[in-house]
Structure 1
């Protein structure tokens, strides 16, 4: 009886390797299934993914470093200098003799702004006003910048690019003005609203220059909170006061337009 039990135990011990072997075969099968699935690439999906990644990495950089006017003074490097100084546009479209011709060209620019920004005008984010000597294109701050910031956010780029496309073929002087509400700001970068408004105006000038608008045509001015268009004791009024205004002159001389 004891020998029979020992024989059964010996047979059981000799067959234990089959369990390990079966586990190994199962894992090996699973490994080959995974390898096969990985090697079976959908060519169409791969092509779409490849084109998407190529478009992302080859897209132009959409950022403008805010101008620091407080404790930390920024110095433009060589790359920035190359961006801010593009070739001078050589295609003035309003060379007609006399004030009448330039006034007609100015009205044509205003009409293009009205058509390009019809949706944003209806939303109250952009206004266009004209006179015989100026176009006043006013953009709400929420369209361009974050709170207390002079770095344009991503949605600002297509707006400024559209403005540049309209202006690049003309020689009109452009004065970019920055305005804030009366809420005080005091940071290392912007000690007051003067610096913040000036930095925002300069950021828009730099974006226009990046889009081939001649820098010699432009000036950047900051008014802080001291030229409001609405009351500052309501949220709606403060929102209207936070704005950037582009004044496009009938004339070509920027110094003459500023005076």
Structure 2
């Protein structure tokens, strides 16, 4: 083979080399797009799964929210629609607040609605002398007004007595527990014997220093803990 033929041969081989490179590039691109498609497909599937899961969770939360709203509406109806007497007159928190304002009793009595019913709270100093269970003259005047309002309801009534944690050891009251019970009994006796509230509607409890509503480390806190509570039960 002469030099001219050799030159033509090398030229053909050189000219054909780009086809190999091009073919490899096409193959690599094809592989890339196949892999990309696979990842994209898996990602879309995952996103779809996540979307379905979120939709299910939203449905569950929506149903739970509806249940909670129904329970809340039911509780609100019980709290604000209870305490009706035989004539259908409602005795609610608003009624008692109006009653207290009308009789200038806001500084002596607190009215609170909770899960138990309507709670009327008196500081012990409003009704009793220190360390005593006998109701004071001012206490009788206050209970007389409150008793008139209690006559308007037919719900059961609970009277509870509380003290602070300062020990009491007298001959009449060896402990705070006995003092708290005695005070509750005196209130119940007045409501049933003087105000004519049926005995079978009323119960009495004394808790002594248990269940404080404030700190016993300060004089003000101890004063808040010494209290009588009348609960108009749900």
Could you state the TM-score of these two structures normalised by the residue count of structure 1?
0.54
Deviation string for 1:57-108 (max 9, x for gaps)? Answer: xxxxxxxxxxxxxxxxxxxxxxxxxxxxxxxxxxxxxxxxxx9588514363
Residue equivalent to 1:230? 214
For the residue of structure 2 that corresponds to 1:182, the secondary structure is coil
Distance 1:102 1:227 in 2: 23
Aligned length: 150
Is this contact kept in 2: 1:164–1:208, CA < 8 A? yes
Structure 1 pair 200/112, CA: closer, same or farther in 2 (3 Å)?
same
Higher RCO structure (Cα 8 Å, ≥6 apart):
1
Residue equivalent to 1:22? none
Distance 1:102 1:228 in 2: 24
For the residue of structure 2 that corresponds to 1:246, the secondary structure is strand
Task: State yes or no: 1:174 paired with 2:157.
Answer: yes
Give the C-alpha shift of residue 197 in structure 1: 0.2
Unaligned runs of 5+ in 1: 1-98, 251-259
Distance 1:129 1:147 in 2: 25
Distance 1:196 1:165 in 2: 26
Aligned counterpart in structure 1 of residue 195 of structure 2, from 208, 211, 232:
211
Task: State yes or no: 1:248 paired with 2:224.
Answer: no
Structure 1 pair 230/153, CA: closer, same or farther in 2 (3 Å)?
same
For the residue of structure 2 that corresponds to 1:152, the secondary structure is coil
Distance 2:115 2:217 in 1: 34
Task: State yes or no: 1:165 paired with 2:148.
Answer: yes
Residue equivalent to 1:147? 130
Structure 1 pair 236/165, CA: closer, same or farther in 2 (3 Å)?
same
Distance 1:131 1:179 in 2: 18
Spell out the pairing of 1:24-39 with structure 2 (5 A cutoff): none
Structure 1 pair 131/225, CA: closer, same or farther in 2 (3 Å)?
closer
Residue equivalent to 1:221? 205
Is this contact kept in 2: 1:103–1:133, CA < 8 A? no
Aligned counterpart in structure 2 of residue 183 of structure 1, from 162, 166, 178:
166
Is this contact kept in 1: 2:132–2:179, CA < 8 A? yes
Is this contact kept in 2: 1:180–1:197, CA < 8 A? yes
Unaligned runs of 5+ in 2: 1-75, 84-89
Distance 1:172 1:215 in 2: 12
Give the C-alpha shift of residue 206 in structure 1: 0.6
Is this contact kept in 2: 1:143–1:156, CA < 8 A? yes
Distance 1:238 1:132 in 2: 25
Deviation string for 1:149-170 (max 9, x for gaps)? Answer: 0000000112111111112132
For the residue of structure 2 that corresponds to 1:175, the secondary structure is strand
